[in-house]
Every structure is written in structure tokens, then in C-alpha cells.
Amino acid sequence: MYKRLSAVLFPIVTLFMIGAFVWGYQENQEKNSILIKAENQYQRAFHDLSYHMDRLHSELGNTLAVSSTSNAMHRKGLINVWRLTSEAQNEINQLPLTMLPFNKTEDFLSRISNFSYQTSMRNLDKEPLTEDEMKNLKVLYKNSSDITKDLQTVQSKVIQNRLRWMDVESAMASEDKALDNTIIDGFKTVDKRVGEYPELNWGPAVSSMYDKRSVKMLSGVAVSKEDIKRKAAKFADAGANASIQVTENGKGTDWESYTATVKSQNLPAVISMDFTKKGGLLISYHDNRKIGKKSVTIKQAKEKADQFLAKKGYKDMTAVTADQYSNMGNLTYVSTQDGVLIYPEKITVRVGLDNGEVTGFQASDYVYEHKGKRQIPKPKMTMDEVRKKINPEFKETYSRTALIKDDQSKETLCYEFGGNINGSRYRLYMDANDGSEKVVEELKSSDRQAAVK
């Protein structure tokens, strides 16, 4: 009996063992193939990074080598610097450096990229490079030389010792804090060197991109939890018997705020609101009610959102965009003063398309940018004069005046033109002083239907 049983089971077990061996071998081959592919990608990104940093140093030198009046060459050089820093940033993002402190170098490259882009985009014939900007280029030329040498040192060790990036990834993932790896040490050296560079005067356009909003920017005095309870109850129309819990956030930081949670028989669901501690200004509002099936249009929802904002004290607000996702609608409103749309003062309103009622909004931009009555500059050109500079194929459907922030974060008075060209809808923001295009954006059909009057 046992002989017959073994005669049957032995070939079956043998087949299973052979199958397991083949499967294990194939899995190992696939794993090795993936590891080799990842290693090749890391090696390519690293060597490309070293190459582009060397080219960046050379391009900065070329830009400095020409005459101070060679505006065309300055523009060409700065565009190349922007392109090379963008390439270097992309290659850094491809390396396994997420657990390695390399943020100073990434921030440094980001500032070079923005500085070179913003400077090259302006009219250098009218606004040539300033003395401070030339000094910046000289400092960047020297600093890029140091970074390039450090990277090339790491590169030569990688090649000579046949170092692997997969070992770097394993070392950084290890809980052992005493990391001893040539590549890791090399990148730490680069980041430490960059961190020791003195801060440059990048100019207002670039510096404004890195300005961090904080409650310190706001006017007014700090409010108490009791003040927030009263504000929350009034805004939510919660009634006298409402239960309101207030928690403090970010105590001792630049982001001190309160969160109020409101429960009441007058309300269909719990409502939560965020307020700034300084001034007690409402940042966000969220109604946690369940949204039913869609039964109203985005245009009908907009009408209710208009009424909601007016009732809550947000006067002179105009809807400029509208999007709908399933049974939810999102509308963006901006302030209006003397017929001019103030785009920096923005509020995003969320609406349930089951009944059109507002379920939440985000007003942080409005809180930090609202400055009361603004001194809006007078345009140097009329709308008709600027209209003549638009592509003749552009079929205008509406026009209005707007104050926007351009790509240099400067507030600029513009004429906004909406219309069609090449089968799509667009908004053009044209400078009201010289007629140049400041911003061009595609306009969605829902935006046109719900936001354009």
C-alpha cells in the first residue's frame, strides 16, 4: 500500500518542488531586473545632475563675460540658467533623497530658477540688469562652482568605487542613525555649504514668492475663546441653546487660530469653523450635512451662494469661476470696488447641488488680502485702445476691469476679456497701462455659464 502511495505522491511532490524552484527563480530574476532598472535610473539622474550643475556654472560665467549693455545676451543667458536649474531640480527629485536633509540646496536652486526667469521675462532694454542683480550673478557664479566641485568629487568616488544608489536608499531607510555612506556624506556636505551662503537680495518679485503668511500680518488684537463662541453662534445662526466647543491651534506659532464646532437643534448637521486668533477673522466654514442627489443647476446654486455671502457680510462679491463635481459645486468669488474686480481678495464657496445651499467656504486669501477701500490706479490706456492689441481672431464675449497679481506677484490693473479662439474659450488679462498680455487662461464652459454676467 505504502509503495503504491509513494509511487503516486513522489512524482507529484517532485513536480511541486520543480514548480516552486522555477517560480522562485523567475521572481528573483524579475526582482533583480527591477533593482537594476532603478539603479540605472538613479545613476543617470545623478550624473545628469552633476553635468547640469557644471553647465549652470558655465552659463553664469558666459552671462557675466559679455558687456553690461548686452541686454540680448543677458536675456539669452538668464533663460539658459533658468532651463538648467529646472533640469537640476528635476534630477534631484528623481534621486532617493527624501529622507536626507537636502532642502537648503533645493531652495537655493528654486530661488536661482525664479530669479533668472523673472529677470529674463522683463524688457531688459527698458529695465536692464541692476547693480545688485549683477552682484547676485557674480555670487551665484562662485557658489555654483563650489557646488559643482563637491558633486564632481562624489561623482568620481561613485565611479572609482562602483558605489550603488540602491545602497543609499537602504542606508537611509535603516533605523541606524550612524549613516556611513560616501554618497550620503557628499550630499550632506553640499547642503551644509549651501546653508552657509549669505542671503542674497533677490528683489521683491522673487522674495514675495517665499513670503509666508502668518497671523502677525493681520491687524487687530487677540480674541478669547468666548469671543469665538459668540462669533461662531452668530455666523451659524445656531440659536441660544447651541453647544459650541472651541479649541486653540498652533499656540505660540505664527499660525495661531481657533476651531469652533457648533451643534444645535436649529442646524441639520455639525458645523465647524476656523478663526484667526488675532482679530477673530473667519478663515473657513464647513457644514457636515450629507449631500443628496443633484437636483439644481450650478446657476441656481450660484444665486443661493450670492445670497449667503451678502447675508454673512461679504458685500460686493462677484463669482468669476464655477466648477461642478458630481453633486457638489465650487464657485470662486472676488471683491468688487468701483466696478473693478479685486482678484487677490478671493473666497471659494462650496455648494450642495441637492438643494443649492452653501456647505462651506475658504476665505484665507480674502482674510490676508482684504485691505478695506483700495487706491485703484487710473489706467493709462482705454479699454478700446487695449482691445486693438488682441489677436483679431479672438471673438470677444465680455470685458471688464480687474486688479490681478501677475507672475511677479505685483498687483496690476488689467482689462479682462473673455471670448473664443481656436474652438476654446479664454480669458485674457491685458495690462491697462501698456496693453501687454499679463495672464492667459482657458475658460471652462461652467465658468462662462455661472460666473460671467
Q: What is the pTM of this model?
A: 0.66
pLDDT in tens, 339-389: 999 999 999 999 999 999 999 999 988 988 887 788 898 999 999 999 999
User: Euclidean distance between the first and final Cα of the chain, in Å?
Assistant: 92
Here the cell at position 444 is: 471652462
| Vertex 271 angle, CA 267 and 276, to 5° | 140
Q: How far is CA 365 from the centre of its chain?
A: 14
For the chain, state the CA radius of gyration. 30
Give the pLDDT of residue 91.
Answer: 84
Could you give the CA distance from residue 13 to residue 42 in angstroms, rounded to a whole number? 43
Paired sense of beta strands 328-337 and 271-276, if any:
unpaired
Phi/psi for 381 (5° steps) reads: -125, 150
Render each residue's pLDDT in the chain as its tens digit; 453 residues: 555 655 555 566 566 666 665 555 555 555 556 667 777 787 888 888 888 888 988 988 888 888 878 888 888 888 888 888 888 888 888 877 665 667 778 888 888 888 888 888 778 888 888 888 888 888 888 888 888 888 888 888 777 777 777 776 666 555 444 444 677 777 778 888 777 777 777 766 666 655 555 555 566 688 899 999 999 999 988 877 888 899 988 777 667 889 999 988 878 788 999 998 888 989 999 988 888 899 999 889 999 999 999 999 998 999 998 888 888 899 999 999 999 999 999 999 999 999 999 999 999 889 888 877 888 989 999 999 999 999 999 999 999 999 998 776 788 999 999 999 988 899 999 999 999 988 888 876 655 554 444
* DSSP per-residue letters across 22-81: HHHHHHHHHHHHHHHHHHHHHHHHHHHHHHHHHHHHHHHHHHHHS-TT-HHHHHHHHHHH
Give the pLDDT of residue 379.
Answer: 93
Give the pLDDT of residue 178.
Answer: 42
Q: Which residue has the cell 498680455?
A: 437
Q: Which residue has the cell 522674495?
A: 207
Helical ranges in 66-102 per DSSP H: 71-94
pLDDT in tens, 385-414: 999 999 999 999 999 999 998 776 788 999
Q: How many CA atoms lie within 13 A of 176 on its CB side?
A: 9
Give the pLDDT of residue 390.
Answer: 93
3-state secondary structure of 449: helix
| % helix, strand, coil for the chain, step of 5 | 45, 25, 30
Average of per-residue pLDDT values in the chain: 81
Helical ranges in 297-407 per DSSP H: 298-311, 364-369, 383-387
Over the range 180-196, which residues count as b (16 or more CB within 10 Å of their CB) and which as e? ebebbebbeebbebbee
